[in-house]
């Protein structure tokens, strides 16, 4: 049995793509159809990955087998697999990512995200669809969505340039 880490080439990260979105994208590539069964546990962590290394937003275990890791350094990412036989899987995931997101490196990444707004008795609740633990409230739907974006910029991927 082969043991050791196979290092893959570093590749660019699209401008505006958060580390979490990058890790979730590669995790879904590796999981295939199982990604649809990847629900949140009680702590808000995805059951099948990716798993953020404690205290770091730059090191991610991508699957529940500990075979694939993503390391982020500045504007580059490195995908590492445990076994040499997995290199072709990692290479295919990188090729798919490049074809999907890096065809025009100058283009900004625009994540697709749904925000759910629900009217409560005396306020509005806004949360990221599929991530009910990422939420905010407000007196109006607009205020709730605004607070959600302002307080969870790392998840929404929206940059706010406050020039007031």
Judge if pTM exceeds 0.85.
Answer: no
Q: List the Cα angle 67/7/52 in 5-degree steps.
A: 50
Tokens 């990260």 label which residue?
13
Q: Distance from CA of residue 87 to its chain's centroid?
A: 22
8 A C-beta contact, residue 111 and residue 21: yes
Q: What does the pLDDT average to over 89-111? A: 74
In sequence order, which residues have a C-beta less than 8 Å from that of residue 81 and are 6 or more positions away? 5, 6, 8, 67, 68, 69, 87, 89, 90
Strand segments, DSSP code E, in the chain are: 6-12, 51-52, 59-61, 68-73, 76-81, 115-119, 124-128, 131-138
Tens digit of each residue's pLDDT (9 = 90 or more) over 109-129: 555 678 889 999 999 998 888
Asked if residue 7 has pLDDT above 70, the reply is no
Asked if residue 79 has pLDDT above 90, the reply is yes
Query: Can you give the pLDDT at residue 113?
Result: 73
Q: What does the pLDDT average to over 89-115? A: 74
Q: What's the rounded Cα separation, in Å, for the pair 18 and 52?
A: 13
Query: Can you give the pLDDT at residue 26?
Result: 92
In 51-159, which residue ranges form alpha helices assigned H by DSSP?
A: 87-101, 141-151, 153-156
- The pLDDT confidence band at residue 1, using thresholds 50, 70 and 90, is very low
Query: Can you give the pLDDT at residue 104?
Result: 57
Tens digit of each residue's pLDDT (9 = 90 or more) over 41-56: 777 666 667 878 877 7
Asked if residue 164 has pLDDT above 70, the reply is no
């Amino acid at each position: 049995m082969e043991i050791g880490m196979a290092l893959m080439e570093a590749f660019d990260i699209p401008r505006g793509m958060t580390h979490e979105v990058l890790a979730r994208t590669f995790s879904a590539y590796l999981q295939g159809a199982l990604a649809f069964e990847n629900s949140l546990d009680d702590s808000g962590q995805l059951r099948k990955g990716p798993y953020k290394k404690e205290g770091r937003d730059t090191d991610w275990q991508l699957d529940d087998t500990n075979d694939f890791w993503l390391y982020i350094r500045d504007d580059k990412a490195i995908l590492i697999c445990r076994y040499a036989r997995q290199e072709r899987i990692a290479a295919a995931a990188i090729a798919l990512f490049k074809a999907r997101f890096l065809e025009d490196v100058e283009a900004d990444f625009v994540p697709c995200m749904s925000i759910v707004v629900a009217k409560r008795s005396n306020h509005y609740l806004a949360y990221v669809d599929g991530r009910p633990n990422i939420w905010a409230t407000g007196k109006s739907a607009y205020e709730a969505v605004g607070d959600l974006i302002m307080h969870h910029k790392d998840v929404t991927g929206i940059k706010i340039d406050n020039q007031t």
